[in-house]
Structure 1
């Protein structure tokens, strides 16, 4: 089932005047079975049949750094959704980009992919700003003096094996990156990277491993 869009909405359409082969942004002037629209590029007014899928509210639980909040989003009934996909959640607290981590379709029943109409709850985590776990090893032969810390960075920050990063007043050279299980498998062939030049986005990092470069004689204290 589809519905007619509202006046003032903007939709991508081909313009018979300036762009018959490519879509441009059009503003809906008068919604109807044949809606009157105006091309925002050249101002040409014409009629088009425009329908948008019926949407339903879906419960979403969003987690970030151990905290979670519940909200709802409107989604097209017949749209397919899957673990790993990202979308925007607009709440009174913040506008967040999130990634789906699980789809609940029944009591204690979770799947990796489903149609929106079948989904009871979408579980997701924030990915536009993330906390990354880091393990830093000393720059000598000791193996029992490693320490852990956390970094807060934008989700699209690039971590590259062989490059130096700083956190908590310390610098370290990245020598290994573990990838999260919800990262897109098409982007990463392996779940761990340790060759110079290997890159993983912060939102996909499970843990960073690095070698301390701050001091010549590194101390665990």
Structure 2
């Protein structure tokens, strides 16, 4: 029996006419498919009820730019802001997070069934750009600088720990979270040991450690 063959749950006229058992799909036909029962190996034809899917537009925001794609999903599935899903586009396969759901007449909502959704508004979260404000190590804010880090969405930042990026080395002082970040007790995070993944981060505030890294010399 093929390990990659599709399997479906249908009744078997030979060993289980009243209850569904697992069958291997041997051949798809017009309206009916040829299947083999994994319990008794009986081969027969049956109609496979497949869940209908509908196509919806998806607007993806990625590093200040946006593009439109489409996704197929069951019409009765409930979706909500903050949920993530894999989006397959001609350019790439990416993970996106729902930031808004647009219904008809440009109405927006945070939760709806797929059949009621006209457009999914999303942002890419598998690879993200994080803004970092770095203050001088003397504690002043006059010469603060801003850098942008491109990191995997699941990269974790921890308050009190050091990060290196290119020629920059800094210690995270606080973490401002995005509006769609979930599962955190506070915003911003400022206690030592507080942590957040990059896809949830709006901005990092940090102290410069670039010069102090050479202080031993």
- Tell me the TM-score normalised to structure 2 length: 0.79
Aligned counterparts of 1:11 and 1:162: Cα–Cα separation in 2: 52
1:170 Cα deviation (Å)? 1.0
Correspondence 1:164-203 to 2 at 5 A:
164-184=162-182, 187-203=183-199
1:4 aligned partner:
none
8 Å contact 2:59–2:121 — kept in the other structure? yes
Aligned counterparts of 1:46 and 1:110: Cα–Cα separation in 2: 52
Deviations 1:94-130 (A, max 9, x none): 1010000000002331100011000000000000000
The SS at the match of 1:107 is helix
1:29 aligned partner:
26
1:131 aligned partner:
129
Task: Figure out how many residues of one structure are paired with residues of the other and give that number.
Answer: 195
- Tell me the TM-score normalised to structure 1 length: 0.78
Could you list the runs of 5+ residues in structure 2 that have no partner in the other structure? Answer: 10-21
Q: Residue 213 in 1 paired to residue 206 in 2?
A: no
8 Å contact 2:103–2:117 — kept in the other structure? yes
Q: Indicate the structure (1 or 2) with the bigger Cα radius of gyration.
A: 2
Aligned counterparts of 2:34 and 2:193: Cα–Cα separation in 1: 52
Deviations 1:3-59 (A, max 9, x none): xxxx944679xxxxxxxxxxxx985435688983677xxx98589996442100001
Q: Residue 144 in 1 paired to residue 123 in 2?
A: no
The 1:137/1:51 distance shift into structure 2, 3 A limit, reads: farther
1:21 aligned partner:
none
CA RMSD in angstroms comes to 3.0
Identify the match of residue 57 of structure 2 among 56, 59, 67: 59
Aligned counterparts of 2:193 and 2:176: Cα–Cα separation in 1: 15
